[in-house]
Amino acid sequence: MIAIIAAPPSKIREQYTAHRVLETLGFAVYCFMVQPLELPDRYNLVDHFVDRHIREGRGEKTAIVCGSTRVTYCEVATQVNRVGNALLGLGLQEEQRVLLVLPDIPEFAAAYFGTIKMGGVAVPTSTAMRASDYAYFLSESRARIAIVHSALIAELAPAFSGQRYLKHVIVCGEPVHDYLNWDEVLRHSSPDLEPARTTKDDVAFWLWTSGSTGRPKAAVHLHHHWVHCCEHYARGVLDIRAGDVVFSSSKLFHAYGLGNALMFPFHVGATTILYPGKPHARAILETAEANRSTLFFSVPTLYASMLQEAEKTRYDLGSIRLAASAAEPLPAEIFRRWKERFGVEILDGIGSTEVLHIYLSARAGRVHPGSTGQAVPGYELALVDHAGQSVPLGEIGDLMVAGPSTAQCYWNRQELSQDRMRGRWFFTGDKYRIDENGYYWYAGRSDDMFRVSGQWVSPIEVESALIEHSQVLEAAVIAFEEETGLHTPKAFIVLRDGCLGRPGLARELQDFVKQRITPYKYPRHIEFVPELPKTAAGKVLRYKLRELGGSAKVSQASMT
């Protein structure tokens, strides 16, 4: 087993003790020096992320840019206080939930921080769901208040009826009959509010995570969790600074986007760019260029689309000093093409809603294309087999992580919480191998790996080979069940603009893969599709591909 441990300077003696203990258990241990985070027991995260900037003289600095709207830290703080007071006035009590269904606009920040400041629990929720989903979210969270946008009310309204716990709905945007109006509610609320007397271990917010199947479940996070992500990843890996202009294509309702576009810039007093529209390549490139972004966050799918768009139109991204990627492994070919086109490195990373943000990441100037990098300081990583035993160097194992931002539990999911949150360790469900230099290489999800001719196949390895072909934009590989009951690789491929699924292309791609990786791993079946099914965060939903064409019994559309 291999563990990566980050030790504060004050704990070096204890860390050496831990080193000896772990060695006796077969661990290989790497220590990284990080500064300890000394947080008082009485702690409300909004005091750190919002109010502190007013005390330290940054009140007039621009905190948020959204289109033509610019909002200062002082204006954010005032809005936060008005929201908190409005919720108190509506009878919300500490620890009760507020469901947020809002696009990436300044009101999101006010609603999120306002709920937490008055002692409530903020529950950001996707803006791309259906009425039945929202009914579930309201029931599961037992939200007393929902804050939603008028553009989404047609989908949301049916979900409100019959809710046992919901008492009030506040609508921002255009006034909507029968619901409280955001502007009116805030206009009658005081701009002054002291933070609730919460502790660092009180619940502050939930984030929904669905995994590969089943209804979404809520990861329960505490007041102190975000500051660890900000210090260890945003500062320790990205070197975020007050002068940065941050832009994330990933949305605020998702853990990755929430950290990128709100918590990281508000940790250091930087400026964030919010874009409420759908993250299409052209719009994202234009927004990054127009606002002279310096830190940019996106996902591999969108990086590929932006590169394709950049072949048609020239974009000046010279202001960007660093880019980051998550949600899916970043193919080495995308990294190389992006750096060649824009002169900027993309730091691939992996995180999870349960651990809140990225805990394994590449480093600027030390990127090994195709590798996820090394542990983020402050987090411990270990690779184990199905029995929980260590795996030898270079072999594939299940990734475990321990760190200070791991969720307390899944709400109302005791059995699953015990299965995944094993003491201080979290079972990620991701498979990795580690090389002799301590770099981690992604091998797929635990439920995505499969055997061909008795040997393991990692879908990500086949996908990475396919995407190096000049005509391939995206690829996803699953296990295809033949009529014999045996499994072989099947690839779903999205071609680049202007490329056609011409006769012979499937065979050409198969030969292309054979020349780059071990031949037995090549896809026996190839299906050309217009797009791949993905989550809102950009993660490919392979279980949907398996449902659509993972067996000879249900699909004869493949090309061999």
Q: Within a 13 Å sphere around the CA of 175, how many CA atoms are in the beta-carbon half?
A: 6
Is residue 551 very low, low, confident or very high in pLDDT (cuts 50, 70, 90)? low
In this predicted structure, what is the pLDDT of residue 275? Answer: 98
What tokens does 416 get?
């699953």
d(CA 458, CA 396): 10
Report the pLDDT value the prediction gives residue 1, as an integer from 0 to 100: 40
Mean of per-residue pLDDT scores for the chain: 89
For 34-85, write each residue's pLDDT tens digit. Answer: 566 889 999 999 999 999 999 999 999 999 999 999 999 999 999 999 999 9
Chain segment 500-509, per-residue pLDDT in tens:
777 899 999 9
Q: How confident is the model at residue 211 (pLDDT cuts 50, 70, 90)?
A: low
* Six-digit token string for 188: 């009658």
What is the phi/psi pair of residue 319, to 5°?
-75, -20
User: 473: part of which helix (H) or strand (E)?
Assistant: strand 472-481
Q: What is the pLDDT of residue 92?
A: 98
CA distance 420 to 220: 14
Beta bridge partners, 298, equal 325
Sheet holding 245-248, edge to edge: 69-72, 62-66, 271-273, 245-248, 295-298, 322-325, 346-351, 358-361, 374-375
Domains and CATH numbers, the chain: 55-60+73-223 (3.40.50.980), 448-549 (3.30.300.30)
The lowest-confidence range among 239-243, 266-270, 342-346, 429-433 is 429-433
Average pLDDT over residues 345-350: 98
- DSSP labels, 250-279: S-TTSHHHHIIIIIHHHHHT-EEE---S--
Torsions phi, psi for 168 (to 5 deg): -140, 145
> Which range has the worst mean pLDDT, 146-150, 394-398, 544-548?
544-548
Q: State the distance between the two ends of the chain, measured CA to CA, in whole angstroms.
A: 40
The distance from CA 102 to its chain's CA centroid, rounded to whole angstroms, is 17
Q: Is the confidence at residue 328, as pLDDT, over 70?
A: yes
Task: For residues 233-254, give the mean pLDDT.
Answer: 97
CA 268 to CA 52: how far, in whole Å?
A: 10
Model confidence over 410-467: pLDDT tens digits? Answer: 999 999 999 999 999 999 999 999 999 999 999 887 777 777 766 668 788 899 899 9
User: What is residue 550's predicted lDDT score, i.e. its pLDDT?
Assistant: 65
Of the pLDDT bands very low, low, confident and very high (cuts 50, 70, 90), residue 554 is very low
Q: What is the pLDDT of residues 264-307, one digit of tens each?
A: 999 999 999 999 999 999 999 999 999 999 999 999 889 989 99
